[in-house]
Structure 1
């Protein structure tokens, strides 16, 4: 396919991925605030959208890691990037439909690595960089956030144990609004940059930018707008899972989880580490649940979530490899991949309408019943 047609197609597809990243990851910042009632659902996603947009302009270190670190930009083509993006979008839509907070970031990395490997061989994948910048943070970040969230929750209950029941939740809910806002800002600094990096990689592979270039201004603006639009749409299925499905979230736990996750994400963005905000936020919520007196954790949901984490990279890699191989075959192959991707997306959307989750019912029921006996959580919903 002619580059004058292919490159715009890849750019549009990258922005579609960015859009799915936004609604897939809205839960990361706002699930606990919605679950506790600190913010009304529509207000929460609108606030998150604006701050994701602002965050996209604060740094480009993660974008540089992706555009010039994970794969050999001299060995791949726009068709390969296109195939990797289709693989990532397919996985994002599938996990959104079943309500599992898997990593949009790892879906992107998996799709890109799979497509590159098939097209240019294993030598085109920088495995050392992949381990350093993706796999190690994937293990360490949720553990760090979980430990921090657990300690913060325990201290919050210790410090406020003598406070009146009416004043404690209100104070923490105000803190939740502040921490959720900062978390949305941090999400924009990390996740919007991944699409910036992919578009920049495409432009480099097409010869439109020199090797080692950072994202142009128009790329930064378009990626920020796309993730903000997706965030405003609201990924209500995953918001329900994170807010109600892992543990009973009250205002103290929500504040602790969000604050610990924000610290980890902002640090990683500064260091250029493209970690999964989903992993970090989920770890913080789980840690906050465990730090609560007589902790209640729905281990079945947590187990399914971790399983999704483990298979995201290889599953998206296989999808990206297949899509990339077909797209590399020529114009007909590229068109076929685009059509199949659109059909899959449309089918998932239609299926989701059968049991829709929206701002009106996101907090109605927990995903899994609790079997443990536990005392009521301060400021929470039981």
Structure 2
């Protein structure tokens, strides 16, 4: 009896999510039927296509919300800067605001120019192609979310449009140069994000936590870090996040960002120094200083995501709506308010019902995060997008964020492994000393500035050489086993492999799905 009650308790949240999702989809169906009544001369096939497209578009938006939100909120939740519940509330609000306010009155119907619609013989084929692409991408995202794999929603819809396009018009329909750039970004974007995040974290460690007077160092450095974040996020929002409201060339955006950074630095310098000096001289107090910058970063990233990635759901939907309304294929199409609202509600609903799974994966299951590490990851994501925009490279924010997580985790491994080696040398250099004295010396070594560490380490090496190498604290075999176990703890290799595998197969998987779905539509030979 107790076992049955326990199983029921476990299943009840899943039933609630499923029920809530079905209610939302039924509401979309009812709205689609009602709205179809305002389109003159709409035949049976047109009605079926419009209602089906609205449902599938909402389903796609739900899956984008469930999968992609982890990029913005995962680090903040993993570092405990914000609770999971508040993260979902903040993300849902800002995702919806971004989609409605800055989602764009006109959206690109062919994401990334991946196919040439002029080569599609029949207008009806284009409409069903878009529907097949939407459904194929949504099904893949649903599967990836269920498996706990954060994947690129942009790459999902691009692969789906490519596959449906090949099924509709052959291989020549695809812009293969664009596909080549996307494939290259699988390698470039996570590496760039990882390198920048690791460099930022190392700078924070060296300039703050490796100092004896951490609080004083934090008071000096934190205003500059927050100003850098203000510059990066202003630039990021102006080139990517504000969408239809305001979009500037990257040079102008960087100039405006610099002005904002100067103002922010002047406003927060004194308060931050006071807060730092009022705290205790340890890492815990320093971590607390990063809380509000992280919350603001997560909110702004969610707004930018809603403004940009809602197009992955409403772009094809707007294309279908415009095709039904005008009987023509358009590379760009107006996005009526009802389509923007549908996309925004889908993002928020998917996030609220299923976003927690991927937030936990990104925030807790790849590597352990504190607020300094999460800050480095959030800032790295924006800086990488800015650098990529300057170089004209397409990047996925999902790949950048996960790459930044890996970069932070592997930097921790490197530093911890080096510290373990130093610890061994210190033990060997003090062989025969009182244990309390050894531990006190090691504590002093840990708190010493980097330059002083080098001097102390050189002295320890010299003293270690004077002892018998066979009398070290741990045998070589034991040290290897400890090192391997520690690495597994810092960055979970199985998670790395699972995520990378999901990235690699996203485009071909969605292409195959969408191609098969389009072929299914030819059984009915629909016409508008």
Question: Could you say whether these structures have the same fold, taking a TM-score greater than 0.5 normalized by the shorter chain as the test?
Answer: yes
CA distance in 2 between partners of 1:118 and 1:213 (Å): 22
Q: Please, which moves more after superposition, 91-100 or 216-225?
A: 216-225
Superposed, 1:371-382 pairs within 5 Å as: none
Q: For residue 299 of structure 2, what is the aligned residue in structure 1?
A: 181
**Alpha-carbon RMSD:** 2.8
Matching of residue 217 in structure 1 with residue 260 in structure 2: no
1:105 to 132, 148, 154: 154
Once the 2 structures are TM-superposed, how far is the Cα of residue 284 of structure 1 from its aligned partner? 1.5
Match of 1:285 in 2: 405
The aligned residue for residue 45 of structure 2 is 2
1:40 aligns with 2:234: no
* Secondary structure of the structure 1 residue equivalent to 2:307: helix
Q: Which has the higher helix share?
A: 2
What does 1:303-382 correspond to in 2, within 5 Å?
A: 303-330=497-524
Contact 1:61 1:270 in 2 (8 A): no
Q: Distance in 1 between matches of 2:501 and 2:98?
A: 30
5+ residue gaps, structure 2: 1-43, 215-281, 418-489
Contact 2:109/2:318 (CA < 8 Å) preserved in 1? no
Report whether the alignment pairs 1:147 with 2:195.
Answer: yes
Q: Is the alpha carbon distance of 1:235 and 1:28 closer, same or farther for their aligned partners in structure 2, counting shifts above 3 Å?
A: same
Task: Provide the residue aligned with 2:358 in structure 1.
Answer: 238
Q: Partners of 1:51 and 1:321 in 2: how far apart?
A: 34
Structure-2 residue corresponding to 1:372: none
Residue 52 (1) aligns with residue 95 (2): yes
How far has the Cα of 1:210 moved from its partner?
6.1
Question: How far apart, in 1, do the equivalents of 2:385 and 2:98 lie?
Answer: 12
User: Structure 1's 155 and 61: CA in aligned 2 closer, same or farther, altered over 3 A?
Assistant: farther
Length-normalised TM-score, structure 2: 0.58
Distance 1:52 1:271 in 2: 27
The CA deviation at 1:34 is 1.3
CA separation of 1:265 and 1:99: change in aligned 2, threshold 3 A: same
Q: Which moved more, 1:285-294 or 1:176-185?
A: 285-294
Report the equivalent of 1:71: 115
| Greater shift in the superposed pair: 317-326 or 70-79 | 70-79
Is 1:81 paired with 2:130?
Answer: yes
TM-aligned CA deviation for residue 268 of structure 1: 6.7
- 92 and 113 in structure 1: CA distance in 2 versus 1, 3 angstrom threshold: same
Alignment coverage as a number of residue pairs: 331
Q: 2:495: which partner in 1?
A: 301
Map 1:90-169; keep pairs closer than 5 Å: 90-132=139-181, 134-161=182-209, 162=211, 163=214, 164-169=282-287
95 and 315 in structure 1: CA distance in 2 versus 1, 3 angstrom threshold: same
Whole-Å separation in 2 of the counterparts to 1:24 and 1:178: 21
The answer to whether structure 1 residue 20 and structure 2 residue 68 are counterparts is: no
- Counterpart CA distance in 1 for 2:301 and 2:522 is 39
TM-score with structure 1 setting the length: 0.78
Separation in structure 2 between the aligned mates of residue 106 and residue 199 of structure 1, nearest angstrom: 17
Give the distance between the partners of 2:112 and 2:196, measured in 1 at CA.
32
Q: 1:319: how far off?
A: 1.1
Offset at 1:140? 2.3
Shift of 1:60: 4.4
Counterpart in the other structure of 1:352: none
- 1:285-306 alpha-carbon deviations (Å, 9 max, x no partner): 1122233332732222112210
Q: In structure 2, how many angstroms separate the alpha carbons of the residues matched to 1:62 and 1:35? A: 37
Contact 1:62 1:273 (C-alpha < 8 Å) held by counterparts: no
Q: Which moved more, 1:264-273 or 1:227-236?
A: 264-273
Q: Answer whether contact 1:63 1:195 (CA < 8 A) is retained.
A: no
Higher alpha-carbon deviation: 158-167 or 259-268: 259-268
Q: Secondary structure at the match of 1:100?
A: coil
Give the drift of 1:61: 11
Name the SS for the 2:117 alignment partner.
Answer: coil
Question: Is the 2:319–2:329 contact (alpha carbons within 8 Å) kept by the matching residues of 1?
Answer: no
Distance 2:303 2:169 in 1: 36
Gaps of 5+ in 1: 333-382
Q: What are the equivalent positions in structure 2 for 1:259-270 lying under 5 Å apart?
A: 259-265=379-385
Cα contact 1:22–1:230 (8 A) shared by 2: yes
1:150 Cα shift? Answer: 0.9
Query: What SS is found at the alignment partner of 1:178?
Result: helix
Q: CA deviation at 1:205?
A: 4.2
Q: 2 CA distance for matches of 1:104 and 1:113?
A: 14
Mean Cα deviation higher: 250-259 or 181-190? 181-190
Q: Secondary structure at the match of 1:39?
A: coil
